[in-house]
A and B are shown apart, each in its own frame.
Chain A
Amino acid sequence: MSKDALEELGEERPTDYLMENILAVHDVRKTNKYSDAVMQIPSGLSALFLEECGDCILIETRGFEKRNVDSPKVETVVKGSQEGFTENLRTNVTLVRRIIKNENLITEMLPIGNTNRLSCTVMYLEGITNTKVVEEVKKRIKRINADFVLGDGMLEQFIEDNSFTLFPQVISSERPDRTASFIMEGKVVIIAEGTPFALAVPVTFFGLFHTSEDTFVRWPGGNFLRLIRIFGLFCATFLPGLYVALTLYHIEMIPTELLISIARAKELVPFPTLLEVLIMEVSFELIREGGIRVPNVIGQTLGIVGALILGQAAVAAGLVSPMLVIVASITGLGSFAIPNYTLAIAIRIERFLFIIAGAVLGFYGISLMAVILTFFACSIKSFGVPYFVPVAPKTKVNTDVILRFPIWAHKERPDALNTPNKKRKGNNVKLWISEDEEEGTDKEGKK
Chain B
Amino acid sequence: MRRLISVVLLFVFTASSLTACWDVKEIDQWAYVYTIGVDKGVDNVFRFTFQIPSMKQEEGAGSGAEGRGEPSVGNEYYFISVDAPTFYSGVNMVESSLSRTLSYMHAKYLVISEDLAREGVERFINSMVRSWQIRRIMHIIIVKGKASSFVKGFVPKLTSATSKAQTGFMDIYKDTGLFIDTNYQRFLEDLKTTYRMPVATLAALNDFSNYRTRGNPPKEFKSEGEYYVGELPRSGGNKFEFFGTALFNGDKMVGQLNGDESRALLMIRGEFKSASISIADPKDREYRITVNTMMKKKPDINVEFHEGKPVINLEIFLEADIQNLQSPTEYESIEQKPVLEDAYKMYIKGIIDKTIDKCKELNVDVFGSGEKAVKHFLTIQEWEEYNWLSRFKDAEVNTKVEFTIRRTGTILKTSPIKHRQGEKK
Give the B-binding residues of A (Cβ under 8 A): 164, 247-249, 251-252, 256-257, 259-260, 262-264, 266-268, 272-273, 316, 356, 359-362, 372
Give every chain A residue within 8 A of B26 (Cβ-Cβ): 247-248, 266, 272-273
Q: In the complex the two chains form, is A360's CB within 8 Å of B21's CB?
A: yes
Chain B's closest residue to A353 (CB) is B13
Interface centre among A257, A263, A359 (most CB of B within 10 A): A263
Give every chain B residue within 8 A of A251 (Cβ-Cβ): 27, 30, 103, 105-106
Q: In the complex the two chains form, is B164's CB within 8 Å of A249's CB?
A: no
Give every chain A residue within 8 A of B17 (Cβ-Cβ): 356, 359-360
Q: In the complex the two chains form, is A267's CB within 8 Å of B57's CB?
A: yes
- Are A360 and B13 also in contact (CB < 8 A) when A164-B6, A273-B27 are? yes
Q: State the main secondary structure of chain A at its contact with B.
A: helix
Q: In the complex the two chains form, is A257's CB within 8 Å of B164's CB?
A: yes
Task: Tell me whether B133 is interfacial, beta carbon within 8 Å.
Answer: yes
What's the Cα separation between A361 and B15 when bound, in Å? 13
Produce 1/0 per residue, B2-19, CB < 8 A to A: 110010010001001100
Number of interface residues of B (CB under 8 A): 32
What distance in Å separates the Cβ of A383 from its nearest Cβ neighbour in chain B?
Answer: 19
Give every chain A residue within 8 A of B106 (Cβ-Cβ): 251-252, 256, 259
What's the Cα separation between A260 and B77 when bound, in Å? 12
Chain B's closest residue to A372 (CB) is B9
- Are A267 and B28 also in contact (CB < 8 A) when A257-B163, A360-B13 are? yes
- Are A263 and B55 also in contact (CB < 8 A) when A273-B26, A360-B13 are? yes
The answer, among B3, B32, B55, for a CB contact under 8 Å with A256, is: B32
Produce 1/0 per residue, B90-119, CB < 8 A to A: 000000000000010110100000000000
What distance in Å separates the Cβ of B318 from its nearest Cβ neighbour in chain A?
Answer: 36
Knowing that A263-B55, A356-B17 touch, tell me 8 more A-B residue pairs with CB under 8 angstroms.
Answer: A249-B24, A263-B27, A264-B73, A267-B57, A268-B57, A272-B26, A356-B13, A360-B13
Chain B's closest residue to A253 (CB) is B105
What distance in Å separates the Cβ of A373 from its nearest Cβ neighbour in chain B?
Answer: 10
Give every chain B residue within 8 A of A263 (Cβ-Cβ): 27-28, 30, 32, 55
Q: In the complex the two chains form, is A264's CB within 8 Å of B57's CB?
A: yes
Produce 1/0 per residue, B270-314, CB < 8 A to A: 000000000000000000000000000000000000000000000
The answer, among A164, A252, A264, A359, for a CB contact under 8 Å with B133, is: A252
What's the Cα separation between A257 and B13 when bound, in Å? 34
Q: In the complex the two chains form, is A362's CB within 8 Å of B23's CB?
A: yes
A-B contact pairs, 17 of them (CB 8 A): A164-B2, A247-B26, A248-B26, A248-B27, A249-B23, A249-B25, A251-B30, A252-B105, A260-B53, A260-B163, A262-B27, A263-B32, A264-B73, A267-B57, A360-B16, A361-B16, A372-B9
Task: Tell me whether B269 is interfacial, beta carbon within 8 Å.
Answer: no
Give every chain A residue within 8 A of B57 (Cβ-Cβ): 264, 267-268
What distance in Å separates the Cβ of B57 from its nearest Cβ neighbour in chain A?
Answer: 5
The answer, among A266, A359, A362, for a CB contact under 8 Å with B27, is: A266
Give every chain A residue within 8 A of B23 (Cβ-Cβ): 248-249, 362
Produce 1/0 per residue, B42-59, CB < 8 A to A: 000000000001011100
